[in-house]
Structure 1
Amino acid sequence: MEFFLTFIPTDIYKEIDVVRGKLEEAFAAKRFEDVSKLYTEDCRFMPPGQPLISGREGVCAAATQMWTGGIRTIKLEMEEAVGLGGDWAYSRGFVTFLLEDGSVAMPGKYFALWKRVDGQLQLFTDIFNRIK
């Protein structure tokens, strides 16, 4: 007897996946302010080896710094998205930062806490680490 597990995306998964696509697209187009608008105004951005970054202005500056450092593409592969009740959800998965030539600058994993603001899920806390 064979068993097959089928992944059925939840509404939360689908909603977060739309935002994921917007983030990837906005970063690739150098629209860093649009990237920051996917985060709550009081967000926390926690890149590896750096101090805590707070607020949309900080996210915009961090995205600009990544671009200046040679990153051209962010690829997010979501493994899980779970609604926590009320206005909260989390997602986790893998992130890959690519250079202009398509080579991998940094493979990583991420955890994100989402908050619903004015009916839309936005990133409240974004943490990612390098996979060595």
Structure 2
Amino acid sequence: MEGAKAAIEAKKAEWKRHFEENNLKAIGEIYAVDCKLLPHGKPTVHGRHDIPDGLKELRMKGTTSLSWETDELGPMTGNGDVIFELGNYKFLKSDGSSVTEGKYVHLRKAQTFQKHYSFIHHLRHRTFLYSAME
């Protein structure tokens, strides 16, 4: 599980770096092609190509950075091919004030041969967080 946790933290750091650089297209490329994103009060986003448009609203509200904190991480299947992550997030303005915050659930599936964990579907959240990263 430690290898999975390290891989997940690395992807979260990459996502955060791209967001802070306002490179929304690069964030879209992190996601799985068939991802499903469930932004609160918005239509479901289907596929990685629509992710940059979904993130533009956060940038227009003045969001410049984010924080993610994992509360729980564990296997959903006996062989560890599917992993869940529960946590909290905040999208922040440059002055440190919160634009939006909430809880997230991510499911990740190990890619064949590499044991590199991919976010595959976002089940539920309260505000605005995306999953399904590759």
Question: TM-score, normalization: structure 1?
Answer: 0.81
Taking every aligned residue pair, what percent have the same amino acid on both sides?
A: 21
Q: How many residues of Structure 1 are paired with residues of Structure 2 in the alignment? A: 122
Query: Contact between 1:80 and 1:93, CA under 8 Å: does it hold in 2?
Result: yes
Kindly report the root-mean-square deviation, in angstroms, between the aligned alpha carbons of the 2 structures.
1.9
1:32 counterpart = 2:24: yes
Structure 2 residue identity aligned to 1:75: S
1:66 shift after superposition: 1.6
Q: Deviations 1:85-126 (Å, cap 9, x if unpaired)?
A: 354211110000111322111221111111234633222223
If the length of structure 2 is used for normalisation, what is the TM-score? Answer: 0.80
Q: Tell me, yes or no, if the aligned pair for 2:83 and 2:107 is still in contact at 8 Å.
A: yes
Structure 1 ranges of 4+ moved more than 6 A: none
Q: Which segments of 5 or more consecutive residues in structure 2 lack a partner in the other structure?
A: 128-134
What's the offset of the Cα at 1:53? 0.6
Is residue 2:14 matched to residue 1:10? no
Match of 1:115 among 101, 104, 109: 109
**Structure 2 counterpart SS, 1:12:** helix
**Which has the higher Rg, Structure 1 or Structure 2?**
1
Q: Which one of 111, 125, 129 corresponds to residue 128 of structure 1?
A: 125
SS in 2 for 1:77: strand
Are residues 1:60 and 2:52 paired?
yes
Q: In the alignment, is the contact (CA less than 8 A) between 2:111 and 2:118 conserved in 1?
A: yes
The residue type equivalent to 1:128 in the other structure is H
